[in-house]
Structure 1
């Protein structure tokens, strides 16, 4: 698993974690925001009216209403990115990462508007009478770039597993195990059966289920979030301040958190922002292509609301819960994931400034880093490593404390272990101790610091169950539309079987590996979609002008 994770990280270094990617993603959003005259601001009120059905026309082709299409698209975006993803962004980049999530969402509102409008405009009716759309169709039917459409469709199928499938069930199972001590295999088996029952019914059943789940889960999560925020109201000012003051300088060290450079906070914030609202990724347009809309722009206007609701509203609530509760910089007892475990040469402490600076340079990979990973053997006596200043154990980007090596789940280990390039080489040993935590586990701890007390932590597994499960449902639809484009209706059932099998497997897979795989898959969709959008920028502007011209004409006649 460590080898595979390192390989995926290497690939991600050329994609989502590369220096160019955040600038490309934000640059496309900024270009269209300026080119179309800030549509996310000017058309915001009108978008709510379209969503409410005020301008609907009878006999319009489509499978779902505006609200059902939005609910399906939201269910595809409101998931672990809002709960585990925000926590991961803060864990990696500190409070400053929230600022860049906001910027990604604001510009993403325009990006979403463009990709949904173009995809709806070039949708088609399939063999079974349902609508199919998405970036692959405008790439093929308008740009005559079938090769690009094929790349996007293949990436969509891969991303359906790496974004909508594996991270979702992994976080659900992790949260259920931590809170209710339910075996991840049991969680995976039960939800896999339910997933199969829903997705076999196609878009109409998917839309019916998600349109009921989304409002319930949103309300429950908002109530839980506000219970923590108001309980820690004295810390809200400081939390907001840390988001803005560190936005262009990087997040300063605090508690067990050793600090994050500007580049790291910027990259992680944009990356997690994309994972949260998926603007530019080309996934939501597949759901919106099913909507009954007489003009593609009207459905594009509805999609403007997605990044606002998903990132600016829900992710902000999550961020304030984590920051105001203070748990993001505290160490907690936990089982150390091997992929987060690191042995470095030399003795370091997070209690003195010189060591903190050295550790900061190591974790943020700055040019002045002098720390090297440890290679050698470690003597362990009665569960405790005998260091003599030769090495320091890091876990989850923090100096680990009270570290114990155990076997068979409970017995203290005595013997020698080998460490190769910072990695522990012995599979039958568990390492436990105190360190920072991340992903859904961090958000769950934060929710226990509110008016509901320890009972607050139960909000996370319940909302995560609904958030993540609905995301998996929506992404199964995205994947099967890509399959239909590539091989036709005959490929849908085999895809669905494989999708459910992958869902079950990921329930007990390593968390870090799943998040890394999802980061790679996201960018494999995003790059072709951004290219297609830019090539059609003039057509997009003309389509929007035509919509408002017809809209004004109809209103004058009334």
Structure 2
């Protein structure tokens, strides 16, 4: 195991070195500028078309599920333990300054996620049995004429589901339940595996119906708990924000149980955890969005912007502020244990809120990523291979529950990076398509102008 971890660390350092960090943030900057900062200047319109239309059913266009069910599935896979354990890990290793770099990655990542979703709708396909399938493997094949790169993405995507979308999730919730209620991790793993199996056999329609209920509920409870702590200690917010901003450019000296961090560590873990939590650039979320009912690629792309905002700039920020405000960063804890300690310090029974959040966040992520893996496997080997994928995915939930946190996070990081590379290349190659679609929607004769006049 030690030898495997050494190999993984070597690969991880290569994958998550400065070239990929620059490519991830650079792609976001490029798409932000190319779309004339639409993700920022049209943010009010984005919220009007997403947050304020969450439960609207009467949509026009083609698709299997509603736009909200698509974004719920994507958010189910996105709003996961990364928002709890991931933020805790970023701060524990990269210091409070890592939060700032998470914000930076998210601000530009909104344009990246927007572009991914636009391309997913542009190049999606309808199968013989009436299903809509799409994602990076399809727009790399049909749009960029690089099927080999689509295959590479599908291989990395299918493999990554076992880490980011499986073992990391079950491990985090098992650790939290063991700490809070002394429940055996093996028992947690078995129960999670059974529940995931019951949902995923119903396909995207069943997943969509489950996630559109779970996602708003779980997010509301966690956000409310975090806001109560922040409001109760509102006088500490300026100091916490000051620490985050100052440490973002200086690193953090060792204090208490904290081992200290450098500027390079702050940037690396901030961006890496940011990508892990909002998945902008990974190419995963477009797979779910490809099944959405919509009349224009940009209209669905707006949900991509909303995803990153809700995930990182709202939920992750709440987690980070609670950790920094309560001083839990100096405890020497890591991952979900750090976040649990912070919530316990901030409010009575705060640990139960974290545990509750982890259970639902992890479960929703597991079912969302199982769908991603199935689509990647289907692209590679055809629909009949899906049953074999499930026979591997479900048991690994149990394996992850009893595994080690650092080892699993390290593996997930590596797989994330490998998955992002072909997708980012595709986004850059197909950026003219994203720009053209944006102009078609927001131009003087586009849907945006007609809606504003009506």
> Is TM-score (shorter-chain normalized) higher than 0.5?
yes
Q: Is the 8 A contact 1:228 1:325 kept in 2?
A: no
Shift in alpha-carbon separation, 1:556–1:167, aligned structure 2, 3 A: closer
Q: Is the 8 A contact 2:251 2:263 kept in 1?
A: yes
C-alpha displacement of 1:553: 6.6
Q: Which residue number in structure 1 is paired with residue 388 of structure 2?
A: 494
- Partners of 2:147 and 2:93 lie apart in 1 by 38
- Partners of 2:221 and 2:166 lie apart in 1 by 23
The 5-angstrom pairing of residues 361-372 of structure 1 reads none
Shift in alpha-carbon separation, 1:290–1:235, aligned structure 2, 3 A: same
C-alpha displacement of 1:557: 8.7
Q: Is the 8 A contact 2:110 2:309 kept in 1?
A: yes
Q: Is 1:514 aligned with 2:405?
A: no
317-326 vs 34-43, which deviates more? 34-43
Equivalent position SS for 1:165: helix
Long gaps (5+) in structure 2: none
Q: Which has the higher strand share?
A: 1
Equivalent position SS for 1:223: helix
Based on CA coordinates, which of the two structures has the bigger radius of gyration?
A: 1
Q: Which residue number in structure 1 is paired with residue 102 of structure 2?
A: 101
What per-residue deviation string (whole Å, max 9, x for no partner) do you get for residues 359-416 of structure 1?
Answer: xxxxxxxxxxxxxxxxxxxxxxxxxxxxxxxxxxxxxxxxxxxxxxxxxxxxxxxxxx
Of structures 1 and 2, the one scoring higher in RCO (CA 8 A, sep 6+) is: 2
Which residue of 359, 363, 370 corresponds with 1:469?
A: 363
What per-residue deviation string (whole Å, max 9, x for no partner) do you get for residues 493-544 of structure 1?
Answer: 1111211011111110111111011001101110000001101112221111
C-alpha displacement of 1:57: 7.2
540-549 vs 281-290, which deviates more? 540-549
Shift in alpha-carbon separation, 1:58–1:510, aligned structure 2, 3 A: closer
Q: Which residue number in structure 2 is paired with residue 12 of structure 1?
A: 12
C-alpha displacement of 1:462: 1.1
Equivalent position SS for 1:309: helix
Structural RMSD (CA):
1.7
Aligned pairs, number: 450
Shift in alpha-carbon separation, 1:303–1:179, aligned structure 2, 3 A: same
C-alpha displacement of 1:109: 0.3
Equivalent position SS for 1:257: coil
TM-score (normalizing by structure 1) = 0.78
- Partners of 2:371 and 2:302 lie apart in 1 by 22
Q: Is 1:443 aligned with 2:339?
A: yes
Long gaps (5+) in structure 1: 331-435
- Partners of 1:448 and 1:50 lie apart in 2 by 37
437-446 vs 233-242, which deviates more? 233-242
Q: Is the 8 A contact 1:228 1:449 kept in 2?
A: no
The 5-angstrom pairing of residues 272-311 of structure 1 reads 272-311=273-312
- Partners of 2:319 and 2:347 lie apart in 1 by 16
Shift in alpha-carbon separation, 1:552–1:201, aligned structure 2, 3 A: closer
Q: Which residue number in structure 2 is paired with residue 373 of structure 1?
A: none
- Partners of 1:35 and 1:127 lie apart in 2 by 37
C-alpha displacement of 1:254: 2.6
Equivalent position SS for 1:280: coil
C-alpha displacement of 1:228: 2.4
- Partners of 1:231 and 1:56 lie apart in 2 by 38
TM-score (normalizing by structure 2) = 0.96
Q: Which residue number in structure 1 is paired with residue 193 of structure 2?
A: 192
Which residue of 376, 380, 398 corresponds with 1:482?
A: 376
Q: Which residue number in structure 1 is paired with residue 77 of structure 2?
A: 76
- Partners of 1:552 and 1:456 lie apart in 2 by 44
Q: Which residue number in structure 1 is paired with residue 132 of structure 2?
A: 131
C-alpha displacement of 1:226: 2.0
Q: Is the 8 A contact 1:100 1:247 kept in 2?
A: yes
